[in-house]
Structure 1
Amino acid sequence: MVEAVMLWNEPNNLSHWDFKIDPDWKKFAEMAIAAGKAIRSVNPELPIVLGGISPIDPNFIQLMGSHGILNAVDVVAIHGFPLDWNHWNVNEWPAKVDEIRAVTKLPVWISEVGASSFGAEEVQLFGLQRMSELLLGNVERIHWYSLFDLPASWTATTRHKEAEGSAYYRHYYMGLLREDETPKMAAAEFPEGLGICQWFHYEDHRLDSAVEWLHRLKVRYLRTGVSWADSHRENAELWFDRQMKALEPFNTTLTLCFTPEHLGIAPHYTSPPKDPNTFAEFAQWAVSRYAPAPVRTNSAYAMPEEMAAPSVLR
């Protein structure tokens, strides 16, 4: 079940949104607000989450407020990895949450938190235990990143790739499970109430195994995504349908992001789109198909037949 939809991922991170093209984030705001309206037209009750920010920056949330985005969403989200990439101590997590709460009345979710086993599995286990102690009960939704290690043959989504040194290679060790799907030390200590963030690539071979492991770990809350860029692949709709059908048992936050190259101002998945309404159309399609409003007889919220999952994928 899709419990929320998230607009983009890390919009204040150059690896995910090209703010050299959009330095004041006005194009992002236009796109997000248009998508929010499109989603409300399909399912007005579905919570909309602003893409989790990284770094955690209250000034960015205030900027989003000045652009009107906070009026278009129901939740803001943050990401933090103090044992791997952030320049703050793990024990500062509650203070980081409070920094965001100080500038918005919206609920704050943590849509990515994690620790790599790059140096040692014991470090990841410590990170899981300490961050769970600090955050469970303080924040409504927390998604641990991630279930699987990134396969060594795949490319991590970062700006400078291998030039980042060990910071880049940590991306490959964030999972509770190794690439061969054997569990690490932290998997045995995964706490009740903590969610998982797991991205699935197009036709990802790990999908069925992921579902099995999510059940084994007693995970209720999941964050994943469907890629706007991938929606233009051949048979994308079939893959998305299979993915979302497999994930129905979980309360899922569905992230929508990644610009198709031919629709971007620049030919890159981080680029603002030439026309913000193209993302809104994709968001409307995704929600119509995977999170439509419940049909209520004799209700203004009953979905007209003509709104049922139009296909914008090609």
Structure 2
Amino acid sequence: MIEAAMIWNEPNNKSHWDPEIDPDWRLFSEMAIAAGQAIRAEHPTLPRVLGGISPIDPAFIRNLAARGVLDHVDVVAVHGFPLDWNLWQIHEWPAKIDEIRAVTNLPIWVSEVGISTFGAEEVQVWGLNRTAELLIGEVPKIHWYSLYDLPRAWEATTRHREAEGSSYYRHFYMGLLREDGTPKPALEEFAKYTPEMGLCQWFHFEDHRLDDAVAWMKRLGVKYLRTGLSWADSFRPNALAWFDRQMEALADFDVTVTFCFTPEHRGIAPHHTSAPLVKEEFAEFCASMIRRYAGKGAVAPEAKLLEAL
């Protein structure tokens, strides 16, 4: 059910990790090492992926390598959105991958890449085709972000929200499907690149789109997927029932599961981007999810159903 475990998401992006609390990423490094060790203790062969970095920054990878983090992960991941947020052009993708290859011998995955339809849906079609041309065969895993547009009633996970202007609103138009589930022109193009290209789709707690998403992914020929299990959500009522439902629905795919988001009451600051008060608590959350969904003690579907009832 779980193909790989990703430790955090975009740790060098202040929308996901607070650099005022941890300006040199020492606390992040200690937490990531603890999580990597905990995952390895539960599963001796499951690949551990360093949370996809955004921006693509070799100096950040060198910093984590010097702190020992790369000794406790098996893959380095990067995120790139050159037509929306990055200050480089789409044809630079191979050069960006080479920048990271120059500072690590670990495999490199592109765990998020996408094009918004904020300006025009035709731009996404062109960008998808060009991205596939540049990245298929260049890296072993490509997770296209995303299947669905973000519902306008929800908030995008950014630091400054609407104050970011158009950069913020682009978050709501990254899907191959519109918010109402109708296809955009790029959907048909995407099907040409599966199974070589996978998807990244975040599911919110008790997400109403889950079953429809599974049906669409099977229709598109998707074989692998990246999603998340939120440490913060684990403190909600009925959290395990939702996690079970999500993971069971995704059982036919090779899933890279991302562990991230600090519970407000367990952070140095009360925010999901905060370094935790106790790094071992995040590590134990990772271990418990591996035990449940990938380890020797993984809960059988019938047992999970009985527990949910």
- TM bin, normalised by shorter chain, reads over 0.9
* Partner secondary structure for residue 187 of structure 1: helix
Counterpart of 2:172 in structure 1 is 172
The letter for the 1-side match of 2:295 is: P
Counterpart of 1:135 in structure 2 is 135
Distance (Å, rounded) in 2 between the aligned partners of 1:81 and 1:217? 23
Counterpart of 1:199 in structure 2 is 202
Counterpart of 2:301 in structure 1 is none
C-alpha distance after superposition, 1:122-172 (max 9, x if no partner): 000011000000000110000000000000100000011011111110000
Counterpart of 2:278 in structure 1 is 275
C-alpha distance after superposition, 1:47-99 (max 9, x if no partner): 00000000000000000100100000000000000000000000000000000
The letter for the 1-side match of 2:52 is: G
Is 1:229 paired with 2:232? yes
The letter for the 1-side match of 2:203 is: F
- 1:19, distance to aligned residue in structure 2 (A): 1.2
* Partner secondary structure for residue 6 of structure 2: strand
Kindly report structure 1 stretches of 4+ aligned residues shifted beyond 3 Å.
Answer: none
* Partner secondary structure for residue 46 of structure 1: coil
The letter for the 2-side match of 1:3 is: E
Distance (Å, rounded) in 1 between the aligned partners of 2:104 and 2:22? 23
The number of aligned residues is 296
CA RMSD between the two structures? 1.1
The letter for the 2-side match of 1:61 is: I
Distance (Å, rounded) in 2 between the aligned partners of 1:131 and 1:41? 37
Distance (Å, rounded) in 1 between the aligned partners of 2:148 and 2:21? 33
Counterpart of 1:240 in structure 2 is 243
* Partner secondary structure for residue 23 of structure 1: coil
Counterpart of 2:123 in structure 1 is 123
Q: 2:256 aligns with which of 253, 256, 262?
A: 253
Is 1:82 paired with 2:82? yes
Normalising by structure 2, what TM-score?
A: 0.95
Distance (Å, rounded) in 1 between the aligned partners of 2:164 and 2:33? 34
- Residue segments in structure 2 that go unaligned for 5+ positions in a row: 299-303, 305-309
Is 1:112 paired with 2:112? yes
Distance (Å, rounded) in 2 between the aligned partners of 1:14 and 1:130? 29
Counterpart of 2:46 in structure 1 is 46
- 1:221, distance to aligned residue in structure 2 (A): 1.0
Counterpart of 1:220 in structure 2 is 223
- 1:275, distance to aligned residue in structure 2 (A): 0.6
- 1:44, distance to aligned residue in structure 2 (A): 1.1
The letter for the 1-side match of 2:137 is: G
Distance (Å, rounded) in 1 between the aligned partners of 2:38 and 2:172? 36
Distance (Å, rounded) in 2 between the aligned partners of 1:221 and 1:138? 17
- 1:198, distance to aligned residue in structure 2 (A): 0.1
Distance (Å, rounded) in 1 between the aligned partners of 2:227 and 2:136? 20
Distance (Å, rounded) in 2 between the aligned partners of 1:159 and 1:120? 26
Distance (Å, rounded) in 1 between the aligned partners of 2:282 and 2:44? 18
Counterpart of 1:10 in structure 2 is 10
Structure that is richer in helix per residue? 2
Counterpart of 1:100 in structure 2 is 100
Overall identity of the aligned pairs, in %: 67
Distance (Å, rounded) in 2 between the aligned partners of 1:251 and 1:49? 14
The letter for the 1-side match of 2:126 is: F
C-alpha distance after superposition, 1:224-244 (max 9, x if no partner): 000000000000000000000
Distance (Å, rounded) in 2 between the aligned partners of 1:159 and 1:263? 19
Is 1:290 paired with 2:280? no
Normalising by structure 1, what TM-score?
A: 0.93
